Amino acid sequence: MSTVESDLDVPAPARAAGSSPDAELTAARMARVGDLDVRRLLPLRQRRSVGAWCFVDHYGPASVDGVAGMQVPPHPHIGLQTVTWLIEGTVLHRDSLGSEQLIRPGQLNLMTAGRGIAHSEESPEDHDPSLHGVQLWLALPDAHRQAAPDFAHHADLPAVRLGGLDAVVFAGSLAGVTSPARVFTAVVGAELSAPADAHGAVPLAPGHEHVIFSASGTAAADGTGLAPGSLLYLPPGRESVRLDARAGARLFLLGGEPLGETLLMWWNFVGRTPDDIAAAARDWAAGARFGRVTGYRGAPLPAPPLDPVRLARKAR
Protein backbone atom coordinates (compact mmCIF):
# COMPACT_ATOMS: atom_id res chain seq x y z
CA MET A 1 0.00 0.00 0.00
CA SER A 2 1.00 3.58 -0.19
CA THR A 3 1.06 5.99 2.69
CA VAL A 4 -0.59 9.37 2.35
CA GLU A 5 1.15 11.16 5.18
CA SER A 6 4.46 11.31 6.95
CA ASP A 7 5.16 10.29 10.53
CA LEU A 8 5.81 13.87 11.63
CA ASP A 9 2.74 14.34 13.74
CA VAL A 10 2.04 11.04 15.34
CA PRO A 11 0.88 10.39 18.89
CA ALA A 12 3.21 9.66 21.77
CA PRO A 13 2.67 6.37 23.59
CA ALA A 14 0.72 6.16 26.84
CA ARG A 15 1.44 3.72 29.63
CA ALA A 16 -0.80 0.65 29.55
CA ALA A 17 -3.20 0.59 32.47
CA GLY A 18 -2.60 -2.42 34.66
CA SER A 19 0.37 -3.58 32.64
CA SER A 20 3.94 -4.00 33.71
CA PRO A 21 5.64 -0.58 34.01
CA ASP A 22 7.59 -0.95 30.81
CA ALA A 23 4.79 -2.12 28.52
CA GLU A 24 3.03 0.58 26.48
CA LEU A 25 -0.41 0.48 24.95
CA THR A 26 -0.98 2.95 22.13
CA ALA A 27 -4.03 3.75 20.04
CA ALA A 28 -4.06 3.64 16.25
CA ARG A 29 -4.39 6.80 14.19
CA MET A 30 -7.04 6.56 11.52
CA ALA A 31 -5.74 7.12 8.01
CA ARG A 32 -7.22 6.77 4.57
CA VAL A 33 -5.63 4.68 1.81
CA GLY A 34 -7.72 5.04 -1.34
CA ASP A 35 -11.28 4.23 -0.28
CA LEU A 36 -10.20 2.25 2.75
CA ASP A 37 -10.07 3.41 6.37
CA VAL A 38 -6.94 2.06 8.01
CA ARG A 39 -5.77 1.86 11.61
CA ARG A 40 -2.14 3.01 11.60
CA LEU A 41 -0.37 1.41 14.55
CA LEU A 42 3.25 2.20 13.62
CA PRO A 43 5.27 4.40 13.35
CA LEU A 44 4.92 6.31 16.60
CA ARG A 45 6.70 9.59 17.32
CA GLN A 46 8.88 8.01 19.98
CA ARG A 47 9.17 4.69 18.24
CA ARG A 48 9.88 4.59 14.52
CA SER A 49 10.53 0.87 14.52
CA VAL A 50 10.11 -2.28 16.59
CA GLY A 51 12.90 -4.55 15.51
CA ALA A 52 12.95 -3.73 11.81
CA TRP A 53 9.13 -3.39 11.66
CA CYS A 54 8.59 0.27 10.83
CA PHE A 55 5.03 0.45 9.51
CA VAL A 56 1.87 -1.35 10.61
CA ASP A 57 -1.52 -0.69 8.99
CA HIS A 58 -4.63 -2.74 9.82
CA TYR A 59 -7.67 -2.29 7.58
CA GLY A 60 -11.16 -3.77 7.54
CA PRO A 61 -13.09 -5.93 7.66
CA ALA A 62 -14.70 -3.75 4.97
CA SER A 63 -17.38 -4.59 2.45
CA VAL A 64 -16.08 -4.30 -1.10
CA ASP A 65 -19.14 -5.99 -2.54
CA GLY A 66 -20.06 -4.42 -5.87
CA VAL A 67 -17.47 -1.63 -5.58
CA ALA A 68 -13.92 -1.24 -6.91
CA GLY A 69 -12.41 -2.00 -3.48
CA MET A 70 -8.70 -1.51 -3.02
CA GLN A 71 -7.21 0.58 -5.81
CA VAL A 72 -3.66 1.68 -5.05
CA PRO A 73 -2.03 2.99 -8.26
CA PRO A 74 1.63 2.39 -9.08
CA HIS A 75 3.93 4.00 -6.52
CA PRO A 76 7.60 3.60 -5.59
CA HIS A 77 9.42 2.25 -2.52
CA ILE A 78 13.03 2.29 -1.33
CA GLY A 79 14.85 0.85 1.67
CA LEU A 80 12.17 -1.56 2.91
CA GLN A 81 10.31 -4.81 2.42
CA THR A 82 6.52 -4.74 2.14
CA VAL A 83 4.82 -7.62 3.95
CA THR A 84 1.25 -8.12 2.72
CA TRP A 85 -1.10 -10.39 4.68
CA LEU A 86 -4.83 -10.87 4.22
CA ILE A 87 -7.39 -12.17 6.69
CA GLU A 88 -10.29 -11.97 4.20
CA GLY A 89 -10.49 -11.12 0.52
CA THR A 90 -8.17 -11.05 -2.47
CA VAL A 91 -5.66 -8.48 -3.73
CA LEU A 92 -3.76 -8.39 -7.00
CA HIS A 93 -0.14 -7.20 -6.87
CA ARG A 94 1.80 -6.00 -9.91
CA ASP A 95 5.32 -4.59 -9.85
CA SER A 96 8.01 -3.11 -12.05
CA LEU A 97 9.88 -6.43 -12.15
CA GLY A 98 6.91 -7.79 -14.11
CA SER A 99 5.42 -9.77 -11.19
CA GLU A 100 1.65 -10.25 -11.17
CA GLN A 101 0.37 -12.15 -8.15
CA LEU A 102 -3.02 -12.69 -6.58
CA ILE A 103 -2.82 -13.02 -2.80
CA ARG A 104 -5.34 -14.81 -0.57
CA PRO A 105 -5.67 -15.15 3.21
CA GLY A 106 -2.90 -17.11 4.88
CA GLN A 107 -0.40 -16.32 2.12
CA LEU A 108 2.50 -13.87 2.12
CA ASN A 109 3.52 -11.34 -0.50
CA LEU A 110 7.01 -10.10 0.29
CA MET A 111 8.40 -7.32 -1.86
CA THR A 112 11.97 -6.19 -1.30
CA ALA A 113 12.32 -2.63 -2.52
CA GLY A 114 16.05 -2.31 -1.96
CA ARG A 115 17.32 0.56 -4.10
CA GLY A 116 13.95 0.94 -5.81
CA ILE A 117 10.80 -0.77 -7.06
CA ALA A 118 7.27 0.31 -7.98
CA HIS A 119 4.04 -1.63 -7.50
CA SER A 120 0.26 -1.40 -7.61
CA GLU A 121 -2.32 -3.20 -5.44
CA GLU A 122 -5.95 -3.64 -6.34
CA SER A 123 -9.01 -5.71 -5.66
CA PRO A 124 -9.28 -7.85 -8.79
CA GLU A 125 -12.35 -7.26 -10.94
CA ASP A 126 -13.98 -10.44 -9.63
CA HIS A 127 -13.22 -10.13 -5.90
CA ASP A 128 -14.51 -11.49 -2.62
CA PRO A 129 -17.15 -9.30 -0.92
CA SER A 130 -15.05 -8.53 2.16
CA LEU A 131 -11.52 -7.21 2.61
CA HIS A 132 -9.51 -7.45 5.82
CA GLY A 133 -5.76 -7.40 6.20
CA VAL A 134 -2.55 -5.89 7.40
CA GLN A 135 0.15 -4.01 5.52
CA LEU A 136 3.52 -4.13 7.20
CA TRP A 137 6.96 -2.79 6.33
CA LEU A 138 10.32 -4.11 7.41
CA ALA A 139 13.12 -1.54 7.18
CA LEU A 140 16.19 -2.86 5.43
CA PRO A 141 19.31 -2.48 7.58
CA ASP A 142 21.86 -0.01 6.23
CA ALA A 143 24.08 -2.80 4.88
CA HIS A 144 21.26 -4.11 2.66
CA ARG A 145 19.18 -1.09 1.77
CA GLN A 146 20.66 -0.87 -1.73
CA ALA A 147 19.82 -4.54 -2.39
CA ALA A 148 18.40 -5.56 -5.74
CA PRO A 149 14.59 -5.33 -5.81
CA ASP A 150 12.76 -8.65 -5.49
CA PHE A 151 9.29 -10.11 -5.13
CA ALA A 152 8.30 -13.42 -3.56
CA HIS A 153 4.96 -15.11 -2.88
CA HIS A 154 4.77 -17.76 -0.16
CA ALA A 155 1.62 -19.90 -0.05
CA ASP A 156 3.03 -22.57 2.23
CA LEU A 157 4.08 -21.21 5.62
CA PRO A 158 4.96 -23.06 8.80
CA ALA A 159 2.42 -23.29 11.61
CA VAL A 160 2.75 -24.13 15.29
CA ARG A 161 0.17 -24.55 18.05
CA LEU A 162 0.84 -22.49 21.18
CA GLY A 163 -1.47 -22.84 24.17
CA GLY A 164 -4.60 -23.24 22.05
CA LEU A 165 -3.52 -20.57 19.55
CA ASP A 166 -2.77 -21.52 15.95
CA ALA A 167 0.31 -19.54 14.92
CA VAL A 168 1.35 -19.09 11.30
CA VAL A 169 4.90 -17.76 11.06
CA PHE A 170 5.20 -15.55 7.98
CA ALA A 171 8.52 -13.86 8.82
CA GLY A 172 11.49 -14.95 10.90
CA SER A 173 11.15 -17.53 13.66
CA LEU A 174 8.81 -18.39 16.51
CA ALA A 175 8.82 -21.41 18.85
CA GLY A 176 11.33 -23.29 16.73
CA VAL A 177 9.65 -22.81 13.34
CA THR A 178 11.02 -20.50 10.68
CA SER A 179 9.36 -18.84 7.70
CA PRO A 180 11.02 -19.44 4.33
CA ALA A 181 10.63 -15.73 3.50
CA ARG A 182 13.92 -13.88 3.03
CA VAL A 183 14.41 -11.17 5.64
CA PHE A 184 17.54 -9.16 6.45
CA THR A 185 17.41 -8.91 10.25
CA ALA A 186 16.41 -11.26 13.07
CA VAL A 187 12.61 -10.88 13.36
CA VAL A 188 9.35 -12.59 14.11
CA GLY A 189 6.08 -12.00 12.31
CA ALA A 190 3.20 -14.33 13.14
CA GLU A 191 -0.58 -14.48 13.04
CA LEU A 192 -2.13 -16.16 16.09
CA SER A 193 -5.73 -17.27 15.87
CA ALA A 194 -7.90 -18.76 18.58
CA PRO A 195 -10.39 -21.36 17.26
CA ALA A 196 -11.74 -21.60 20.85
CA ASP A 197 -11.00 -19.68 24.05
CA ALA A 198 -7.24 -20.00 24.42
CA HIS A 199 -4.77 -19.46 27.23
CA GLY A 200 -1.04 -19.95 27.03
CA ALA A 201 2.46 -18.59 27.02
CA VAL A 202 4.07 -17.60 23.76
CA PRO A 203 7.88 -17.78 23.79
CA LEU A 204 9.77 -14.59 22.93
CA ALA A 205 13.42 -14.02 22.06
CA PRO A 206 14.76 -12.10 25.10
CA GLY A 207 17.01 -9.95 22.92
CA HIS A 208 14.05 -8.80 20.82
CA GLU A 209 11.43 -6.12 21.33
CA HIS A 210 7.85 -6.97 20.34
CA VAL A 211 4.40 -5.61 19.62
CA ILE A 212 1.09 -7.44 19.79
CA PHE A 213 -2.21 -6.28 18.36
CA SER A 214 -5.64 -7.74 17.70
CA ALA A 215 -7.11 -7.69 14.19
CA SER A 216 -10.34 -9.39 15.34
CA GLY A 217 -11.85 -10.10 18.70
CA THR A 218 -10.50 -9.54 22.16
CA ALA A 219 -7.60 -10.92 24.13
CA ALA A 220 -5.28 -10.03 26.98
CA ALA A 221 -1.48 -10.04 26.93
CA ASP A 222 -0.09 -10.39 30.45
CA GLY A 223 -3.44 -9.01 31.63
CA THR A 224 -3.53 -5.95 29.32
CA GLY A 225 -6.70 -5.96 27.23
CA LEU A 226 -6.31 -5.93 23.45
CA ALA A 227 -8.94 -5.06 20.85
CA PRO A 228 -8.61 -3.87 17.26
CA GLY A 229 -7.10 -0.36 17.15
CA SER A 230 -4.55 -0.71 19.94
CA LEU A 231 -0.94 -1.83 19.99
CA LEU A 232 0.96 -3.26 22.94
CA TYR A 233 4.74 -2.79 23.01
CA LEU A 234 6.93 -5.16 25.02
CA PRO A 235 10.57 -4.11 25.49
CA PRO A 236 13.50 -6.56 25.25
CA GLY A 237 14.21 -8.86 28.16
CA ARG A 238 11.11 -11.04 28.04
CA GLU A 239 11.17 -14.81 27.63
CA SER A 240 7.45 -15.15 27.06
CA VAL A 241 4.10 -13.38 27.07
CA ARG A 242 0.92 -14.86 28.47
CA LEU A 243 -2.00 -14.61 26.06
CA ASP A 244 -5.65 -15.13 26.92
CA ALA A 245 -7.75 -14.96 23.76
CA ARG A 246 -11.46 -15.29 23.23
CA ALA A 247 -12.73 -17.70 20.59
CA GLY A 248 -12.41 -16.12 17.17
CA ALA A 249 -9.68 -13.67 18.17
CA ARG A 250 -6.91 -13.08 15.66
CA LEU A 251 -3.70 -11.50 16.94
CA PHE A 252 -0.43 -10.46 15.38
CA LEU A 253 2.96 -10.75 17.04
CA LEU A 254 5.77 -8.72 15.48
CA GLY A 255 9.25 -8.33 16.90
CA GLY A 256 12.93 -8.34 16.31
CA GLU A 257 16.35 -7.29 17.37
CA PRO A 258 16.29 -3.51 17.98
CA LEU A 259 17.47 -2.03 14.69
CA GLY A 260 19.88 0.49 16.24
CA GLU A 261 19.57 2.76 13.20
CA THR A 262 17.65 6.01 12.92
CA LEU A 263 15.20 5.75 10.05
CA LEU A 264 13.97 8.63 7.98
CA MET A 265 10.53 7.79 6.61
CA TRP A 266 8.76 9.98 4.09
CA TRP A 267 5.84 8.87 1.88
CA ASN A 268 6.77 5.37 0.69
CA PHE A 269 10.49 5.76 1.22
CA VAL A 270 12.68 4.59 4.08
CA GLY A 271 16.08 6.28 4.02
CA ARG A 272 18.64 7.67 6.41
CA THR A 273 19.22 11.20 5.12
CA PRO A 274 17.10 13.92 3.49
CA ASP A 275 19.24 13.41 0.36
CA ASP A 276 18.15 9.74 0.12
CA ILE A 277 14.53 10.85 0.16
CA ALA A 278 14.91 13.83 -2.16
CA ALA A 279 16.80 11.75 -4.73
CA ALA A 280 14.10 9.04 -4.69
CA ALA A 281 11.32 11.62 -5.08
CA ARG A 282 13.21 13.27 -7.96
CA ASP A 283 13.78 9.93 -9.69
CA TRP A 284 10.11 8.94 -9.35
CA ALA A 285 9.00 12.26 -10.83
CA ALA A 286 11.49 11.83 -13.69
CA GLY A 287 10.42 8.26 -14.46
CA ALA A 288 13.89 6.98 -13.55
CA ARG A 289 15.17 4.20 -11.24
CA PHE A 290 11.87 2.48 -10.36
CA GLY A 291 10.83 0.94 -13.68
CA ARG A 292 7.27 0.74 -14.91
CA VAL A 293 4.24 -1.18 -13.63
CA THR A 294 2.22 -2.55 -16.53
CA GLY A 295 -1.40 -3.66 -16.45
CA TYR A 296 -2.83 -1.22 -13.89
CA ARG A 297 -5.66 0.85 -15.31
CA GLY A 298 -4.85 4.31 -14.05
CA ALA A 299 -2.04 6.81 -13.64
CA PRO A 300 0.82 6.34 -11.18
CA LEU A 301 0.66 8.20 -7.84
CA PRO A 302 2.64 11.44 -7.75
CA ALA A 303 4.73 12.02 -4.62
CA PRO A 304 3.35 14.68 -2.25
CA PRO A 305 5.25 17.99 -2.20
CA LEU A 306 8.53 17.62 -0.34
CA ASP A 307 9.31 20.28 2.26
CA PRO A 308 13.12 20.24 2.75
CA VAL A 309 12.91 22.14 6.04
CA ARG A 310 10.49 19.70 7.64
CA LEU A 311 12.43 16.78 6.23
CA ALA A 312 15.69 18.06 7.72
CA ARG A 313 13.98 18.58 11.10
CA LYS A 314 12.59 15.08 10.97
CA ALA A 315 16.01 13.61 10.19
CA ARG A 316 17.43 14.82 13.53
Output the smallest distance, CB 148 to Mn ion, in A.
18
Question: Smaller CB distance to Mn ion: residue 33 or 311?
Answer: 33
Would you give the DSSP letter of residue 283? H
Output the smallest distance, CB 55 to Mn ion, in A.
10
Distances 43 to 30, 80, 108, 250 between C-alpha atoms, Å: 13, 14, 22, 21
Residues 6+ apart with CB under 8 A from 37: 30, 31, 59, 62
Output the smallest distance, CB 121 to Mn ion, in A.
7
Residues 6+ apart with CB under 8 A from 286: none
Output the smallest distance, CB 109 to Mn ion, in A.
11
Question: Smaller CB distance to Mn ion: residue 248 or 295?
Answer: 295
Total chain residues near Mn ion (CB under 5 A)? 2
Site string for Mn ion, 135-174 (x = CB under 5 A): ----------------------------------------
Would you give the DSSP letter of residue 261? S
Question: Smaller CB distance to Mn ion: residue 2 or 179?
Answer: 2
Question: Smaller CB distance to Mn ion: residue 6 or 224?
Answer: 6
Residue type, 280: A
Site string for Mn ion, 180-219 (x = CB under 5 A): ----------------------------------------
111 with 82: CB under 8 angstroms? Answer: yes
Residue type, 191: E
14 with 24: CB under 8 angstroms? Answer: yes
Rounded Cα distance between 229 and 211, Å, is 13
60 with 50: CB under 8 angstroms? Answer: no
Question: Smaller CB distance to Mn ion: residue 2 or 26?
Answer: 2
Residues 1-40 that bind Mn ion (CB under 5 A): 1-2
Output the smallest distance, CB 206 to Mn ion, in A.
33
Give the interface with Mn ion as residue ranges (CB under 5 A): 1-2
